[in-house]
Amino acid sequence: MTTVDHASPRPATLARPAVRLGIAVVLSFLLGGLTSYAQGFLPDAFASFANSASGWTVLTAALVYWSRARTGPAAVLGATSFVLLVLGYMVVSQVRGLFYDPVLFSVVGVVVGPFVGVAASWLRANGVRAALGAALLAGIGVGESVYGLTVVGDTTSPVYWTLIGVAGLVLVAGLLVRRIRGALPVALAVGGTAVVAVAFYVAYTSLG
């Protein structure tokens, strides 16, 4: 009689999340470097993506979401990814003969990155978690959209700033349709987006 070893698939099952996390970490550095080059080849309408907080936020959130990391690992990956994006940008900028001081946005990544990571992870959830995740990410997009259109609108194209704001609103609307139900989660999604947008605008304006 042949016995079946039910434990054999376990290493492969455990390895897959670790591999995805590792790939996300490597891609963070590479994509950060690419954003430095992107400033030179992106059309003017989209150039602000490579030189904005929302650009790195979108990349961080996308990598965490793709990794399927749960809340704890997502928080760590969010901070790691954001900081590596900044460092990748710095390294490539130096190779191109440009100076970039990574300290400010590295600190921003350490502080804000965990929240971005958790928010991206919670987009796969329902109810309150989905509402909070959507509110944070959409609020950043809407907040920087307003900042871009009002503070630096004279020197940059309005196209990217408009698109990132619309993308934030679409994210909230999509989750309201698919995953967010009930008065409290809906209020958190809508009200939270507005609160984060205002907070982002005030904070970013104060940073100059």
91-116 burial: b if 16+ Cβ within 10 Å, else e: bbbeeeeeeeebeebbebbeebbbbb
Flag whether pLDDT at 14 surpasses 50: no
Looking at residue 141, what is its pLDDT? 97
% residues pLDDT > 70 (the chain): 92
Flag whether pLDDT at 158 surpasses 70: yes
Which is more confidently placed, 204 or 62? 62
Looking at residue 40, what is its pLDDT? 81
Q: How confident is the model at residue 11 (pLDDT cuts 50, 70, 90)?
A: low
pTM passes above 0.75: yes
Using CA atoms, how far apart are residues 208 and 200, in angstroms rounded to an integer?
12
Which is more confidently placed, 199 or 39? 199
